[in-house]
Chains A and B, each alone.
Chain A
């Protein structure tokens, strides 16, 4: 394969570590809102309340991370200047804006114990945008020219969604007493299992283009993610059912694993852009 002095065809992303951190917090916020409403309907008030608080906290951190990453942070409101369906970042900014407003309103009213009808309405809105919030970042990175992201466009939202669900379950399993945290533990376990299956299937389907997920820094973090999520989930499913300490350790491991997974996918994009072979070879193969 020829190249121009081995130089990349594409530009590496200019995103800073705030972005994968947001993938994690945004996912946690979205899935926690859904978990909270489900617990409310199921009659588990402790789980509902604490997931709502966790979601609100993550919803508060998320825009701060995003604004900090901007080249012109003082212009962050330009994100709400237009609504553009062709830009997953524009759609996502609006989702995050609605989610942040609704979740913080609901959390505030929950804490104050006032205006119940408004609180329920806010919770409904927050959980309605929660699921899209937890998956759209996968579509956001897929909507680029970076082969390792774009070719994974159908898997990434599922991978990020499963990771978000596991995060919400793990965070709630830490925050809620073990006697009332069974659904949270099941969510963390299920999310971690599904996510690892999707990752395997994705790498298998992508073949050559998917190499960066296994190599370099991305590969190291992918291994760490696998060990932490599966180890943490196993701990939650066993000792975590009895001991709060084990639940906290298991939940913490799962959360660390999910953060590592986002970092791995993020770095894989840089590695994919850096090497012209991932750009040129697939294009050459289909062009002939």
Chain B
């Protein structure tokens, strides 16, 4: 994956978010906003448990989900109280990233750390990556733009570019861990080389399963899944869709050869159709 970097290539890093120890403090959300200067985008009360952030987007790169359930914490346990699931969601930094594949300008790129980052000085706001992401992570920023418009006639008042988690590319370059992992008080968000994280996650899952935790599973750990494994994967305590995550995400470009074949045949059909219109006279 990082061959083109030659000697500059680094070990692939990522996140393992162990939601079984998340306490929903949202320190990750705050640390991310502060370090990356992610702007405030409105304060609302949703009434959806303690979640007033709602979703990842251009101005939210960490999002803590809160799910209130009447489920036992352990497999054989009784439902005696609320089971409160909390999970800090983030860009998955897919091995096969649809956003990166479909980006027509080359603004989205694979860093030497194996992460996926938007170059904001290149992005022209075409928006193709937004519906391409199978997780609904990346989005366009509609807040007012901060710099002076270069060409007053055609430039827009809003920022207009797409934004998402960079896995703190600048901090990685300086040898630091990402802000969210640094701020997490329970080590729910663990940062490190992806191979190490996968090992650690396997051990943690085995422990929780031995203790008969209800619904414990790894999500995005498998390198053979539809996106080639996540760079940021999770230990969840219920099905992914309960947390608003897709159960079996697939990178859309996996089907691209077949799509181009269909398009080529369709183009041929258009030519044939036009020719057929001249059968029976040119006038």
Contact = CB atoms under 8 A, between A and B. Distances in A.
A286 B249 CA distance: 11
A89 B252 contact: no
Interface in A100-142: 131-132, 134-136, 138-140, 142
Contacts of A182: 280-281, 283
A231 interface: no
Interface string B242-283: 111111110011011011101101111111011111101111
Contact of A78 (B65, B105, B140, B160): B105
B130 A13 contact: yes
B263 to A, nearest CB: 4
A35 interface: yes
Given A70-B126, A79-B105, A190-B276, A280 B131 contact: no
A206 B268 CA distance: 24
B139 interface: yes
Interface of B: 46, 48, 51, 54-55, 57, 65, 67, 98, 101-107, 122-128, 130-140, 149-151, 154-156, 158-162, 238-239, 241-249, 252-253, 255-256, 258-260, 262-263, 265-271, 273-278, 280-283
B247 A280 contact: yes
Given A74-B150, A131-B268, A145 B131 contact: yes
Contacts of A183: 277-278, 281-283
A87 B269 CA distance: 23
Given A71-B158, A143-B253, A7 B55 contact: yes
Interface of A: 1-5, 7-15, 30-31, 34-35, 38-39, 42-44, 47, 67-76, 78-79, 81-82, 84, 86-90, 93, 131-132, 134-136, 138-140, 142-146, 149-150, 153-154, 157-158, 160-162, 164-165, 168-169, 179-180, 182-184, 186-187, 190-191, 194, 269, 273, 276, 279-280, 283-284, 286-287
19 contacts: A3-B242, A34-B270, A38-B275, A47-B283, A67-B154, A73-B154, A132-B263, A143-B253, A143-B256, A144-B98, A145-B98, A145-B132, A150-B255, A160-B266, A182-B283, A186-B276, A191-B273, A286-B248, A287-B247
Nearest to B260: A139
Given A78-B107, A79-B104, A169-B277, A70 B124 contact: yes
Contacts of B151: 74
A219 to B, nearest CB: 20
Contacts of B133: 10-11, 145
Given A43-B282, A186-B277, A79 B122 contact: no
Contacts of A194: 273
Contacts of A69: 126-127
Most chain B beta carbons < 10 A, residue from A38, A169, A179, A276: A38
Given A131-B271, A135-B267, A3 B101 contact: no
A96 to B, nearest CB: 12
A157 B106 contact: no
B263 A9 contact: no
Contact of B263 (A44, A72, A136, A279): A136
B156 to A, nearest CB: 7
B242 A4 contact: yes
Interface of A is mostly: helix
Contacts of B243: 4
B102 A143 contact: yes
A278 B282 CA distance: 47
Given A14-B127, A44-B283, A153-B255, A9 B277 contact: no
Per CB-CB distance, the 6 closest pairs between chain A and chain B, nearest first, are A71-B125, A71-B160, A4-B244, A42-B282, A75-B124, A157-B266
Given A7-B55, A157-B267, A286-B248, 8 more contacts: A11-B138, A31-B270, A75-B123, A81-B106, A131-B271, A138-B263, A145-B134, A150-B255
Contacts of A2: 238-239, 241-242
Given A5-B48, A9-B135, A78-B124, A89 B102 contact: yes
B124 A79 contact: yes
A47 B283 CA distance: 8
Most chain A beta carbons < 10 A, residue from B107, B138, B271, B277: B277
Contact of B269 (A35, A47, A161, A273): A161
Nearest to B67: A4
B72 to A, nearest CB: 17
A253 to B, nearest CB: 19
Most chain A beta carbons < 10 A, residue from B106, B162, B274: B274
Contacts of A131: 267-268, 270-271
B267 A161 contact: yes
B252 A87 contact: no
Given A71-B160, A72-B123, A79-B124, A87 B101 contact: yes
